[in-house]
Each structure stands twice: as structure tokens, then as C-alpha cells.
Amino acid sequence: MAICKGVREIAHLDCPGGGQIVVDGSFGYIGHMRAPSGTSIIDLSDPARPRKIAHLEVPKGLHSHKVQAANGIMLVNHEIVSREIAAAEGLRGGLGIYDISNPGNPKEITRWTCEGSGVHRFTFDGRYAFISPEIEGYLGNIVMILDLADPARPREVGRWWMPGQWTAGGEQPSWPGRQHRCHHAIRSGDRLYVSYWHGGGVILDIGDMSRPRQISGFDWSPPFPWPTHSIVPVPFAINGRRYLIVADEDVNPIDPEMAPELAAFIWILDATDETRPVPVATFQVEGVHGRRNPEMTGCHQPVEVIRGTEVPVAWFAQGLRFMDFSDPMRPRETAHYIPDPAAGESRVSSNDVFQDDRGLVYLIDRVAGLSIVERT
């Protein structure tokens, strides 16, 4: 039985596990974790009876676990998960771009391709896509801005990378391997808030998109072992001050012995002075800290569009958590929902969360299942 506190389950849809769920109008879009499942489109006109109306597949060797939809256009990522299969089959990573003017019949417009592993996570505002491609000449994923004014001809308008990534230009990284790489960027006005994995996070000025400029950065990995997954700007002031919600992801620690008694959690940053964002509080699910936990016990990510001072967060094995940050110095849990684990699993793996204009919350499990809930 699902565990609910302050939450009512409206519906549950059996479906392959997903990396992302977004809702645009009356339709949901799910990016699935594993081939051949690529992207599903769900009719949500009656949220109590979600209904799959379209499904796209991807070949083995790729996955298409992220999706965005706006202005009748759907973007899906193509990321190589097996270089051997990709080389043998001639597969390339990048973006799939679709016409979804009829969501039940998505039509491919074009594919944007790049070298390396392709695109990981991205955001899309209806015209510009802020993507994290791995491209030739750079070590790890970088920030790139694509203009889709003509979706059949995506055009790069700008890029940014952390100094040390441009190896073809003679730069030398100060970190091992691909630890410092772009996870994804979230736009707010002329700012991009970019999570950079074990490189922490950066705030970029994109007033001139052709020349993104770093305003500031922060990095606590180390001394904390987890990578930075999401930097979500709060779109309103609280007591005259501006804040960021930053989530570390409970995977891929630099060193599991660095903090064995902890699991990844959320930080609240005061960014009133955006040149010096400062952590002012943290939030963790009760009972997690103080013991050695298996990976994917702690935090994954909050919603990317904040609608109020209560924020839904996908918390891996802890399910869905609602965090109230009306007092940014003392964030607290106000409700939670833990769905039944997928068949054959001992615990849930809540991977992504979205909140629509109606206040409904959509939670996708990494292994299987979509839950639709509302606060009570």
C-alpha cells in the first residue's frame, strides 16, 4: 500500500520506468530510462484516468530519458549508453525534434546530432533549448544554447564551458576524468542556473546569448561527496531576499568513505547578491542521516518550476517529499507520498517530479510506474 501523509493519490499508471515527466496543457510526456521505450505521451484531460495515446521507441545502445514540450514542439534527448553498440550500428547522440500539434501522432521534424555521448538533460522555453551536449574537443558535457525558431533547422547561438574543459584549445582540467561537466541549465530571464556535477554550480548571464558570462559559482564537492543535480531559482522574493534551491543527487560519490553517515540532501542558498550565493540552510528527510545508506537513498531533484513556498521533491527511496521553505532558514517537511515499489523491487526509486497549473503532482519511478497525486 502506498504511504500518504497530506497527499491523496488520484491515479497510478503502469508504464516503463522514466527519467522525466513533464506536462503541457492536458498532455503528459514521459522520457523512459531504457530502450526500446523512448517517449510516451499521456492524455491527462481526466487525471483520474490517464491514458497513453502515443509511444516512440529508440534502438538499443541509446536511451531517450529526458523530454520537454512547448509551443507544439517536443524535444527528446538521445544519449549513447553503449559505445560499442552505437559504433556498430552507426548511432549518434543529440536531440529528436517532433511536431506535436496532434499529441496522439507525433511527427519527427529533424534530428540534431553531436559527437560523444550526445545530450543528457536540458530545458526548453518554446524557442530556445538549453542543452548539455558532449561534443568533440571538450572534456565532458558543456552548456549550449540552440535557437529553434525554425525547428527544422536548429541553430547554435551560444556555448559556455568550465575553464579546463576545452582540451582541443589547450586547456588542462584541474579535476580527474569527467567529474566537472554540465548536468543541465534552467533559465530565468537573462540568467541560466547551471548544475555542473562535481563542479558544483554556476550562474550565467545570457543577456547576450552569443556570449554567456559567468557571474558566480559554488562547489562543495568535496568536502561533500555527491554531484550537484539541480539549481532551481525561486521566482519571488521572501522578506526582500532572493533564494536558490539546490539539490545534490545521491549517486556517483567522489569517494563513498568521504561521508558514509550521510546521504545527499537539499541546500537553500541566499542569492540576493548573485555574485556571492551563500548556503543558509539544508533539508534532509528525517531518519536518513546518521547511518550508512545504499546509493539512491537520498535526494534526487525538486520540481524545476516553483509555484509557491511548498516544493515537491523526488527523493529516490524516500518517494515524494513536500518541503516548505517559507522560512528559508528552517525548511521543513509538510507532506509525503511513497508509492508501492515496482514489481520485484524492495523499495521505490522516485526519479522525477512535475507540478502542473492545477497543482497536481506527477511522480515517475525510475523502474516502473507514474503516480498522480494532490495535496490535501
Q: pLDDT, tens digit, for every residue of 183-237? A: 999 999 999 999 999 999 999 999 999 999 999 999 999 999 999 999 999 999 9
CA 87, 90, 94, 99 torsion-angle sign: negative
Across the strands, what pairs with 90?
none
User: Residue 162 half-sphere exposure, CB side, CA atoms within 13 Å?
Assistant: 28
Backbone angles phi, psi at 87, to 5 degrees: -65, -40
How confident is the model at residue 1, as a pLDDT? 76
| DSSP codes, 62-120 | EE---EEEETTEEEEEEEES-HHHHHHHT--EEEEEEE-SSTTS-EEEEEEEESTTEE-
Across the strands, what pairs with 362?
354, 372
What the chain holds in terms of domains, given with CATH numbers, is 3-375 (2.130.10.10)
How confident is the model at residue 10, as a pLDDT? 97
What is the spatial distance between Cα 274 and Cα 341, in angstroms, rounded to a whole number? 41
Across the strands, what pairs with 333?
323
| DSSP codes, 180-231 | EEEEEEEEETTEEEEEEETT-EEEEE-SSTTS-EEEEEE--TTTS-SPEEEE
How confident is the model at residue 263, as a pLDDT? 96
How many other CB atoms are there within 10 angstroms of residue 190's CB atom?
A: 11
H or E element at residue 368: strand 368-375
Q: Do residues 56 and 30 touch, judged by C-beta distance below 8 A?
A: no
How confident is the model at residue 267, as a pLDDT? 98
How confident is the model at residue 126, as a pLDDT? 96
How many other CB atoms are there within 10 angstroms of residue 276's CB atom?
A: 12
Residues 148-162 pLDDT 10s = 999 999 999 999 999
CA 339, 342, 344, 348 torsion-angle sign: negative
Q: Do residues 349 and 367 touch, judged by C-beta distance below 8 A?
A: yes
How confident is the model at residue 249, as a pLDDT? 98
Residues of the chain with pLDDT under 70: none
Pick the closest to residue 142 from 126, 113, 163 (CA basis): 163
What is the spatial distance between Cα 52 and Cα 44, in angstroms, rounded to a whole number? 9
Residues 275-312 pLDDT 10s = 999 999 999 999 999 999 999 999 999 999 999 999 99
